[in-house]
């Protein structure tokens, strides 16, 4: 008997994995209205609080008045506007690369870039905890995929020796998140750069959660590690710390040309509209100012306080230093009970379950913002501890 959609949904529900959307009214700020209730936001990627920044809003409004509301076509037809080129030039200068190319989203970037670089006969070495969009990009490429243990560069070195000795031909790509979105830890980029050079590989870093946040100028995990010039593809997004939408690849001029001609998500999509491009451009400029530096320092302080407070209270917190602070619970059902109980108390923290994280590692993923006050975070910790004790999590 054919399985119905209802059967499939019932199976998802029975496994404790059924997902529902929650509606936010108003701006994405430190405090929002969610499903009709005023709550503190603890699960947004709006790390620097730029999603409602006046400079970004003003830039968007001015762009609509000058350029209208749509690009009208894909980039290779008539959809490349002056703002696309201005944003790409600004990104290249910001990241210290020869060139840059804008994509419509992080998922579109990864599923476009990877198949453009590798295919049948090539090999990709991918961190086991890489983002789903990287996995999708590898699958679309048809290249041989070798997953290495999370952040284990020594294990990667062994795997590269083995697989590259057996298959000496073809292109080799190492790909990793810069900041891992569910654990909040940072990739060992210095060691990955050494392996790239040792084996003549390309190195791609998805820095969606590091861009704007890490490094003295907010250039991301590569700047923090001092290896920006050695990374072939620095992918990042405008929709997290930069408060806008879309993504980019910071690359050499030669790789940019290849992506323009081979990346299907770039070739076959209507390009980003003027309002989004202008907001992204304003954000790239803002994070390099004194205000950007102040916001990064505020965010780093908030993250330290929150992480240390939860660890001191006895919660299971993975090692990390970034603004992503998860409490690993294990059970999907308990995780969602925890999330629902916090929402009742006025704190919006989304539960994360498989397939986003491995089975048995369901968690509450807290994300800090520069616009959270110390009083906000102190009250949140009190409620988290109270709910955690009630559920037997701590």
Q: What is the mean pLDDT of the chain?
A: 95
CATH code (residue 73): 3.40.640.10
- Same domain? For 110 and 238 the reply is yes
Is residue 181 annotated as part of the catalytic site, yes or no? Answer: yes
Residue 186 gets which letter from DSSP? Answer: B
Q: What is the pLDDT of residue 320?
A: 87
Residue 21, pLDDT score:
85
Tokens representing 284 are: 């790239």
53 is known as an active-site residue: no
Q: Is the pLDDT of residue 185 over 80?
A: yes
Give the tokens for residue 331. 């059970």
Confidence (pLDDT) at 85: 98
Q: 282 Cβ partners below 8 Å, 6+ apart? A: 55, 56, 58, 59
Q: Using 50, 70 and 90 to split pLDDT, how confident is the model at 81?
A: very high
Residue 90 has a pLDDT of 98
CA distance 278 to 9: 41
Are 315 and 255 in a shared domain? no
Cα-flanking dihedrals φ and ψ of residue 358, to 5°?
A: -60, 150
pLDDT at 169 over 80: no
Q: Write the pLDDT tens digit of every residue in 194-246.
A: 999 999 999 999 999 999 999 999 999 999 999 999 999 999 999 999 999 99
Q: Could you tell me which residues come within 8 angstroms of residue 288 by beta carbon, excluding any fewer than 6 positions away?
A: 94, 217, 218
Tokens representing 353?
A: 């379950």
Q: What pLDDT score was predicted for residue 15? A: 83
Which CATH number belongs to the domain containing residue 352 in this structure? 3.90.1150.10
The closest alpha carbon to 349, from 361, 376, 367, belongs to 367
The arrangement of strands across the sheet holding 351-352 comes to 324-330, 362-367, 351-352
Same domain, 186 and 225: yes
339 and 253 in a common domain: no
In a domain, 368, yes or no: yes
Residue with tokens 């959270």: 372
The reply to whether 295 and 282 lie within a common domain is no
| Residue 11 forms part of a structural domain | no
The burial of 186, by beta-carbon neighbours within 10 Å (0-12 exposed, 13-18 middle, 19 or more buried), is given as: buried
**Co-location of 248 and 111 in the same domain:** yes
- From the candidates 53, 240, 271, 372, which is the catalytic residue? 240
Instruction: State the Rg of the chain over Cα.
Output: 21
Catalytic site residue from 107, 196, 209, 372: 209
pLDDT > 90 fraction of the chain, expressed in percent and rounded? 89
Q: Is residue 160 domain-resident?
A: yes
Q: Which two tokens stand for residue 205?
A: 């870093």
Is the per-residue pLDDT at 166 higher than 80? Answer: no
pLDDT mean over 344-372? 94
Task: Give the residue numbers spanning the domain of 258.
Answer: 54-286
Summarize pLDDT for 48-75 with one digit per residue, the tens: 999 999 999 999 999 999 999 999 999 9
Same-domain status, 308 and 219:
no
Return the C-alpha torsion angle 287, 292, 296, 302, nearest 10.
Answer: -130
Q: Are residues 267 and 314 in the same domain?
A: no
The answer to the question of residue 166 being in a domain is yes
Question: Does 364 fall in a domain?
Answer: yes
Q: In terms of pLDDT, which residue wins out, 147 or 2? A: 147
Residues whose CB is less than 8 angstroms from the CB of residue 194 and which lie 6 or more positions away in sequence, other chains included: none
| Closest among 79, 100, 80, 81 to 89, alpha carbons compared | 100
Model confidence pLDDT, tens digit, residues 9-42: 899 888 888 888 888 888 999 999 988 889 999 9
Same domain? 308 vs 322: yes
Last residue of a domain, one of 286, 307, 324: 286
13 falls within a domain: no
Residues 74 and 197 in one domain: yes
**Percent of the chain having pLDDT more than 70?**
99
φ, ψ dihedrals at 145, nearest 5°: -105, 130
Last residue of a domain, one of 231, 258, 286: 286
| Domains in the chain, number | 2
Flag whether pLDDT at 263 surpasses 80: yes
Domain boundary among 286, 309, 340: 286
pLDDT beyond 70 at 168: no
Q: CA 314, CA 394: separation in Å to the nearest integer?
A: 6
Residues 216 and 314 placed together within one structural domain of the fold: no
- Average pLDDT, integer, range 173-194: 97
Residue 184, pLDDT > 90, answer yes
């Amino acid at each position: 008997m054919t399985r119905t959609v209802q059967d499939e949904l019932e199976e998802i529900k029975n496994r404790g994995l059924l997902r529902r959307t929650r509606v936010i009214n108003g701006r994405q700020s430190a405090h929002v209205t969610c499903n009709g209730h005023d709550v503190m936001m603890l699960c947004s990627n709006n790390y620097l609080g730029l999603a409602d920044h006046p400079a970004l809003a003003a830039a968007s409004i001015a762009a609509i008045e000058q350029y209208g509301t749509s690009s009208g076509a894909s980039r290779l037809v008539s959809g490349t506007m002056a703002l696309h080129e201005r944003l790409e030039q600004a990104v290249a200068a910001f990241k210290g690369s020869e060139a840059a190319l804008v994509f419509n989203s992080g998922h579109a970037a990864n599923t476009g870039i990877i198949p453009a670089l590798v295919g049948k006969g090539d090999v990709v070495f991918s961190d086991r905890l890489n983002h789903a969009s990287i996995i999708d990009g590898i699958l679309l490429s048809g290249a041989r995929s070798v997953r290495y243990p999370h952040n284990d560069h020594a294990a990667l070195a062994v795997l590269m020796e083995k697989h590259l000795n057996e298959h000496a031909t073809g292109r080799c790509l190492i790909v990793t998140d810069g900041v891992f979105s569910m654990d909040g830890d940072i990739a060992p980029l210095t060691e990955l750069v050494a392996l790239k050079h040792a084996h003549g590989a390309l190195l791609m870093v998805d820095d969606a959660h590091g861009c704007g946040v890490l490094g003295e100028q907010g250039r991301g995990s590569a700047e923090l590690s001092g290896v920006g010039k050695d990374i072939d593809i620095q992918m990042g997004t405008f929709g997290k710390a930069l408060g806008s939408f879309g993504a980019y690849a910071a690359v050499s001029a030669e790789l940019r040309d290849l992506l323009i001609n081979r990346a299907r998500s770039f070739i076959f999509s209507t390009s980003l509209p003027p309002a989004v491009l202008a907001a992204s451009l304003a954000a790239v400029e803002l994070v390099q100012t004194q205000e950007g530096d102040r916001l990064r320092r505020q965010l780093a302080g908030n993250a330290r306080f929150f992480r240390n407070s939860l660890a001191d209270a006895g919660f299971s917190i993975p090692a990390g230093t970034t603004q992503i602070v998860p409490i690993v619970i294990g059970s999907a059902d308990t995780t969602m009970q925890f999330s629902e109980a916090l929402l009742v108390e006025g704190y919006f923290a989304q539960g994360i379950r498989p397939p986003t994280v491995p089975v048995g590692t369901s968690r509450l993923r807290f994300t800090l913002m520069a616009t959270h006050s110390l009083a906000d975070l102190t009250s949140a910790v009190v409620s988290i501890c109270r709910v955690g004790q009630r559920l037997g999590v701590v």
